Amino acid sequence: MLHVKNGEAVIPGQLLGEKIWHGINCFHEGDNVFSSTQGIVRVEKDRVKIIPSAGGYIPKEGDLVIGVITEILTGRWVVDIRSPCLCALRGEEVTRDPLTTDLSKYFKAGDVISAKISYVDEVNSCQLTGPWKLDGGIIIDVNAKRVPRVVGKKRSMLNIIKDKTGCKIVVGQNGWIWIKDNKVKLAIKTIRKIEREAQTRGLTNRITEMLDKEADG
């Protein structure tokens, strides 16, 4: 019997099912089958296997991330933070009585939030704190390793983009960036350029010149 669904993210040691056939990146102990890696479940007829997640974001305490509410459970939400690791937001973050309160009054499935990672356990499952709903706008994804370059020293690069485009921008350290208002297309173009050219010299000057030229166009 399967305990997971096709496409579900799993972590090492997670129980996948009992008395089932399994393929790569799985192991069994007795009748129980477990995942041996972080990845995505693939169910093919009567067989389960795990596709490893390459380069996924690994949560770290104190990181500001952008997430999407995917499920409401008793007393908590499940949040997608662009990682194979499980992430939860406890109801105590918004109400004193999370077990009896209708949590959908605060956040519904599909809502986009920003929050900080408050706790990470030994298998990288994490909890969030300080949630803030991000209304409207769009989310783009970048390589999480390029986030420091998008932000810049003392937020210098991010401030240049905001000033020149008039956009509201929230950068998650998980590689999701929320953008809203005014010249969104120009902001996206700029961020993509930074992502491509992150390791080159003179990038700040080139970005400033591009924005000076196109922001008034």
Domain C-terminal end among 90, 118, 133: 133
Token pair listed for 127 = 């909890």
- Residue 56 has what pLDDT? 67
Please state the domain count of the chain.
3
Identity of the residue numbered 135: D
**Same domain assignment for residues 95 and 113:** yes
pLDDT band at 55; cut points 50, 70, 90: low
Question: What separation in angstroms does the CA of 36 have from each of 2, 41, 56?
Answer: 16, 12, 16
pLDDT band at 215; cut points 50, 70, 90: confident
- Residue 124 has what pLDDT? 82
**Same domain assignment for residues 128 and 143:** no
Token pair listed for 109 = 């499935």
Domain C-terminal end among 115, 133, 151: 133
Token pair listed for 191 = 């961020």
Give the span between the Cα atoms of 66 and 146, in whole angstroms: 15
Domain assignment present for residue 175? The answer is yes
**Same domain assignment for residues 89 and 116:** yes
Domain C-terminal end among 133, 154, 188: 133
- Residue 54 has what pLDDT? 53
Supply the CATH number for residue 46's domain. 2.40.50.100
Domain assignment present for residue 36? The answer is yes
Q: Is residue 24 over pLDDT 80?
A: no
Q: What's the average model confidence in pLDDT over 198-207?
A: 91
**Same domain assignment for residues 145 and 175:** yes
**Same domain assignment for residues 112 and 147:** no
**Same domain assignment for residues 127 and 163:** no
**Same domain assignment for residues 77 and 99:** yes
Supply the CATH number for residue 101's domain. 2.40.50.140
**Same domain assignment for residues 144 and 181:** yes
**Same domain assignment for residues 84 and 149:** no
Token pair listed for 31 = 């009748």
**Same domain assignment for residues 143 and 210:** yes
**Same domain assignment for residues 22 and 86:** no
* Domain that includes residue 45, residue range: 9-52
pLDDT tens-digit profile of 56-98? 688 999 999 999 999 999 999 999 898 878 899 999 999 999 9
Give the span between the Cα atoms of 43 and 2, in whole angstroms: 9
Q: Give me the DSSP letters along the chain.
A: -BSS-TT-EE-TT-EEEES-EE-TTEEEETTEEEESSSEEEEEETTEEEEEE-SS-----TT-EEEEEEEEEETTEEEEE-SSSS-EEEEGGGT-S-TTTS-GGGT--TT-EEEEEEEEE-TTS-EEEEEEEE--S-EEEE--GGGHHHHH-GGGHHHHHHHHHH--EEEE-TTSEEEEESS-HHHHHHHHHHHHHTTTSTTHHHHHHHHHHHHTT-
Domain assignment present for residue 70? The answer is yes
Domain assignment present for residue 3? The answer is no
